[in-house]
Chains A and B, each alone.
Chain A
Amino acid sequence: DTAVSQTPKYLVTQMGNDKSIKCEQNLGHDTMYWYKQDSKKFLKIMFSYNNKELIINETVPNRFSPKSPDKAHLNLHINSLELGDSAVYFCASSQDITSEYNEQFFGPGTRLTVL
């Protein structure tokens, strides 16, 4: 069973379109995250949710909107896609935010290409 899954794996779209990436974890974790990895492999946190509540919202354009319908899901919706949004987006989860030794479990990534 896949612990953290993302769909789709690849997403190719035109500038200006709106798209969503879905993430699900079956680990029973309370906390979920979205990261963006650029072409130089640099990973930057975008959002973090704990028990469906937003706890981290880094400086990200408001075209990006996360949605957590329940603890096991954290979806990422992107409006008006731009060329600079092309990247690999990773979803991750961790047990909770109370223990500093919790590791994160990562999904396989979604490669977004904006043409």
Chain B
Amino acid sequence: AQSVTQLDSHVSVSEGTPVLLRCNYSSSYSPSLFWYVQHPNKGLQLLLKYTSAATLVKGINGFEAEFKKSETSFHLTKPSAHMSDAAEYFCVVTRYGQNFVFGPGTRLSVLP
């Protein structure tokens, strides 16, 4: 069985400061991991995915995530937050694309 924990339901940062959204997973197998973003009243958009080619994954809009097997973590970071980053972020674990398990989401607020 697979599961995803997102440790913070809400993160608030000031514009221009770093962003850290935490994700821990549980999987019996080597997982595939994704981060999706959902802006208000919109569908979900892929930010980045872990493909096992490299543990540090770069995504769109300056986001990146590091896969740490020993810590079963896949935290999402961005060096400098922008107002347009305010959204809901979902960490997702899957195996062979058959059962995508979503975390509960982290709402990111960016203060001016």
Contacts and interface: CB of A to CB of B under 8 A. Distances in A.
Contacts of B73: none
B95 A41 contact: no
B42 A108 contact: yes
Interface stretch (B13-21, B64-72, B96-104): B96-104
Contacts of A100: 32, 94-97
A45 B99 contact: yes
Contact of A43 (B46, B97, B102): B102
Interface of B: 32, 34, 36, 38, 41-46, 49, 51, 88, 90, 94-102, 104-105, 107
5 contacts: A33-B100, A41-B104, A56-B99, A99-B97, A109-B41
Interface of A: 4, 31, 33, 40-45, 48, 55-56, 90, 92, 94, 96-109
